[in-house]
Chain A
């Protein structure tokens, strides 16, 4: 595997991770919090209507988790490709 092949494969995996995570990012905020809000609002957890909860709480928690998942995935990927040395 040449250097540029290696770089290309690394980049493709990175793009795949990014796209999957951004899909979840979209579903948690624009999906659950905006588009499907009214449907989700029929479900209640404690005092929270679920659509309202996603818009004002849940989406933010998902965002934090997404970044840390990306950090872990990329640290692993960097190691596999030997890109973790400074």
Chain B
């Protein structure tokens, strides 16, 4: 599914000027441009996606938001993987342990914020009536759509460099911050030239979406056809009740930035908020931005030959038994956990997809299963974390100590959700029953080692199954 997005994206080198001037984007022919950081020394050379296939502003916005959602989704998983790789029994000094723990907490925080961005992008899609975007490709992901080739890898100085470049604000801001030279060094250190890696700045996507939400001064005669911005009639305020709010998601704690929008202004504010926190062209508080936080870690992070903050986990681990051996999980127990991880990951995505399709209750006394789905989603994140910890303590191949396995974050064959509500619940039931099968297999195969967790998971599954059966009368 995600590859279809790529098909419509043709990267072309142009000599056009940078997209800093938003007004340029509003002409019917203008298209959003992605800055290639490999060309940071020569900013006049730009890349741009050819989006001419789309004729209306709304359609272009939907397309760009889908790219945004995929990128946020992929970043989130990638950062989670990197964060959980930090630490391990090889860290023997308290100072190394402390620093790894601190970095882990920061990267996890950023990953959580990417999830908030992802939810915000889907809220914006909901606002303009676009289809939701939960898809992405499996790792490793080629760079044609993404800021750089996405890989699940332990956190290293090089991978950190890529994250810094990806979250970097625009050139003007970099110049203001006096970071041009440092960025150039980082670009070199990630071997951008050697590996032909083009690290694109994600923020340009949001710049372009913001431009499409902004009405320019319209000439009276003749009016441009089609309009160069999203029509007011396509911005649906009532959609707010289908959007995910921070109140509903985190019970109101300000952990995660999730923006909702019910009009043009709030949509622009939402885009601004996620841009400022990460990936945007400008920067709010440097220390609190993703860029600032990654750069701070990068500066402190151990270089090659120095101490190793991360565990020796595999790159892009997979359950695919035809994949190269350095990625393939062959350890039977790790494979079961990895497959269970994929299943629970799918469950999380399906809960979210379903929750977005249920209206929030109008009154405090109104009852809908939306809250249940959100609570389950919340719980799934905990499950994914627990299973990740188990995986990162198991070798990829039996009989070897390293590399260790890790969560594959493999996408299911489909994220399509049934047209009828009862069928959506049937899907949840089926996935829960599948999870029970994995739990049984793991209990049979591991004895006492994970007994308590598996017993608890079994109980949680059963309780969820009972609730689903109550809802669908089964």
Asked if chains A and B come from one complex, the reply is: no
